Amino acid sequence: IAVHALKSPETESFHSLTGSKSFLERGLLLLVIMIFLEGTVLTLGAASSPDISAQDNTGGGHNHLDDHRGIAGSHDHTNYTYSKKAFPVLSLDYHHIQVPFEISLWVLLASLMKLGFHLIPRLSSIVPESCLLIVVGLLVGGLIKLAGEDVPPVLDSNLFFLCLLPPIILDAGYFLPIRPFMENIGTILMFAVVGTLWNAFFVGGLLYAVCQIEGTYLSQVELLPCLLFGSIISAVDPVAVLAVFEEIHINELLHILVFGESLLNDAVTVVLYHLFEEYSGAGEVTPMDVVLGVICFLIVSLGGIAVGAIYGILAAFTSRFTSHTRVIEPLFVFVYSYMAYLSAEMFHLSGIMALIACGAVMRPYVEANISHKSHTTVKYFLKMWSSVSETLIFIFLGVATVAGPHAWNWTFVSVTVILCLVSRVIGVVGLTFIINKFRIVKLTTKDQFIVAYGGLRGAIAFSLGYLLDKDHFPMRTMFLTAIITEIFFTVFVQGMTIKPLVDLLAVKKKQEAKRSINEEIHTQFLDHLLTGIEDICGHYGHHHWKDKLNRFNKKYIKKCLIAGERYKEPQLIAFYHKMEFKQAIELVESGGGVKLPSAVPSQVSMQNIQPKKLPPPVAERALPQFTKGREEEIRKILRSNLQKTRQRVSADPGSDLPSANLRGNIRRATAKLISDPFWGGVPLG
């Protein structure tokens, strides 16, 4: 209204008559009008805040007409008393943000503990990180209990299996070294399946025998609950193995054996757990139940792998069409993997094996489709997520130890620790004796000791024990106490002493060497050579089936799952591009790229631009220059003789050697290649 009054024609004529008024007088006039309007608004605001406590109680309420009259200035003010409420400048509402605030606080505490641990080199060289985190959890739980508060059940089974465990397993499966894993798959399966069954029945059976001894006060413990406890406590935990083995930098063979066992024994643990839990109430297990248990194991393991492979293929196929929306590329990797885990758990299949299969299947195709930035995002987000989850698991394990009730029985707890250690040693030594009869690279005594000593238990066993029903298992509290004691023994005693033992025994450690293009060439050459030898001998071995799978993958699967023309790119060229790109990134990160122009050629390209003069001895041995026609002829010879599809030729009846026709073909092909001028000019030695 004031602005309209100032801009009206009457006001403008008035200002024209009184042009001598200063700008200050006009400002004062506007200020007076604003003060008047402010007083009016405050009066209406105060009138609109009725004091409900002063209502007339005779009518049991009031109508809106009375409110309107009161606000409009009616003379009837007997039923209401109006008071102005102060605006809340600062208020506290913790319950509104309690859950996300506490989750953020736990994550922050875990991250700070991990940061502080690595800032003290002497401490990290003596004590494993997992041990320190468990101690932090014990201290936090103790402080909460001393403050008179109830310690929250932070290591709830649903929280563990649905939130904390999947990122750790996905990180392990996505970056799983496929080649050493597949080369040792037989040994890993022996340790994971046969070894876990041996540990479960050995520990469970002898525990039941000990419980029947008079004076132990454990005669009420039956056989099936003991076998159930043995199946829970016998499985090697992947989280604990990762936490300890990555710090001691053990060699690749031992690492993949123990870690592969911890991943693949999940199916055995799930089947035994559900089988013994199902029949603990019945009191007996029939031979038919044993047969069904074997079938269930196959369904749980193979079903989990199938579910993971399906979701991995879907993730790879989806990544074909993300070239225009690079931002959401990492999202598909995480969501498809988590859906694979949840789908497997929904049908009581092995969620761990589903995640491993999903990550291993989709990685080569997804990396070929997504951008480098998306690949970096996937890599570091997975590493960060798995590291935080691993840290929270160990802290929560310490908190749960303080929070939960315990039923301590010296006999049961001490016998459990001893039997777990003895069964592990006997199982590894016995299985290795059988395995070494079929292995080319034998497992030495030192290797057997590290594999046996590295069988660590962790939070998976605790969560499975936490899931037990108190009504069906009255000894659940004693089981949890024994499980926590076994976890503490393996993590603290074995985890703290394995690194000095590795140094004392001079066990070979992991070599942090980067793969070169020369190594990749020789690796592929040896693969083709061994495949050719198997084909000549007429033996369908490991390399033969691997070559068949690679050909099928290149001919059909890559064409469907990799976008554009990249599926035609040879493996060696793809490795070269990856290595070249990695070298360029390292050059920039090291500061060498600051003085270089924006388009920096690779080291190989720079060598081509500025070739150095070869020394005389090398220059004399250099190959002569060929014309384009001669080069094309050489390529044709190589294609027709070295890249021809191999055929299996049957051997002569009663003879172990190839047929005469095959020998003649080999001689003729060899003579043709050696007699060629190109090969004649190169010293074959």
Q: Which residues pair with 286 in a beta bridge?
A: none
What integer pLDDT is reported at residue 672 of this predicted model? 52
More confident position, 23 or 37: 23
CA pair distance 589, 583, nearest whole angstrom: 10
How many helical (H) and strand (E) elements, i.e. helices and strands, does the chain have? Answer: 34, 2
Indicate whether this model's pTM tops 0.75.
Answer: no
Q: In what helix (H) or strand (E) does residue 81 lie, and over which residues does it extend?
A: strand 81-82
The pLDDT-based confidence of 191 (bands split at 50, 70, 90) is: very high
In the predicted model, is pLDDT for residue 108 greater than 70? Answer: yes
Burial 279-316 (b: 16+ CB within 10 A, else e): bbeeeebeeeeeeebeebbebbbebbbbbbbbbbbbbb
The pLDDT-based confidence of 425 (bands split at 50, 70, 90) is: very high
More confident position, 595 or 335: 335
CA pair distance 656, 666, nearest whole angstrom: 17
Q: What is the mean pLDDT of residues 133-156?
A: 80
In the predicted model, is pLDDT for residue 431 greater than 90? Answer: yes
Q: What is the mean pLDDT of residues 70-75?
A: 44
Residues 6+ apart with CB under 8 A from 232: 269, 273, 461, 464, 465, 479, 483
Please report the DSSP string for 95-137 in residue order.
GGGHHHHHHHHHHHHHHHHHHHHHT-HHHHHHS-HHHHHHHHH
Among 3-12, 305-314, 381-390, whose mean pLDDT is lowest? 3-12
CA pair distance 80, 67, nearest whole angstrom: 9
Q: What is the mean pLDDT of residues 661-684?
A: 47
State the amino acid at position 563 in one-letter form: A
CA pair distance 411, 409, nearest whole angstrom: 6
CA pair distance 248, 653, nearest whole angstrom: 55
In the predicted model, is pLDDT for residue 678 greater than 80? Answer: no
Percentage of the chain lying above the pLDDT 90 cut: 26
Mean pLDDT of the chain: 76
What integer pLDDT is reported at residue 522 of this predicted model? 78
Per residue in 337-386, pLDDT tens?
Answer: 999 999 999 998 999 999 999 999 999 999 889 988 898 899 999 999 99
The SS3 call for residue 56 is coil
More confident position, 277 or 281: 277
More confident position, 94 or 522: 94
What integer pLDDT is reported at residue 603 of this predicted model? 41
In the predicted model, is pLDDT for residue 513 greater than 70? Answer: no
Both tokens of 319, joined, read 């990544």
Among 229-233, 566-570, 572-576, 672-676, whose mean pLDDT is lowest? 672-676
What integer pLDDT is reported at residue 485 of this predicted model? 93
Measured CA distances, 30 to 4, 19, 203, 226 (Å): 12, 17, 91, 89
Residue 465 contacts residue 405 (beta carbons within 8 Å): no
Per residue in 553-589, pLDDT tens?
Answer: 888 888 888 887 666 666 666 666 666 666 776 676 6
In the predicted model, is pLDDT for residue 295 greater than 70? Answer: yes
Q: For residue 314, which of 356, 365, 353 has the smallest C-alpha distance?
A: 365
Structure-token match 């989709």, residue found: 362
Among 194-198, 247-251, 321-325, 591-595, whose mean pLDDT is lowest? 591-595
The pLDDT-based confidence of 592 (bands split at 50, 70, 90) is: low
Burial 332-365 (b: 16+ CB within 10 A, else e): bbbebbbbbbebbbeeebbbbbbbbbbbbbbbbb
What integer pLDDT is reported at residue 567 of this predicted model? 61
What integer pLDDT is reported at residue 50 of this predicted model? 43
Both tokens of 262, joined, read 């911890």
The pLDDT-based confidence of 422 (bands split at 50, 70, 90) is: very high
Residue 135, φ and ψ in degrees, nearest 5: -65, -40
Looking at residue 510, the DSSP 8-state letter turns out to be P
Measured CA distances, 342 to 183, 338, 350, 379 (Å): 29, 6, 10, 22
What integer pLDDT is reported at residue 63 of this predicted model? 47
What integer pLDDT is reported at residue 91 of this predicted model? 82
In the predicted model, is pLDDT for residue 444 greater than 80? Answer: yes
Both tokens of 95, joined, read 């319950």
Q: What is the mean pLDDT of residues 599-624?
A: 42
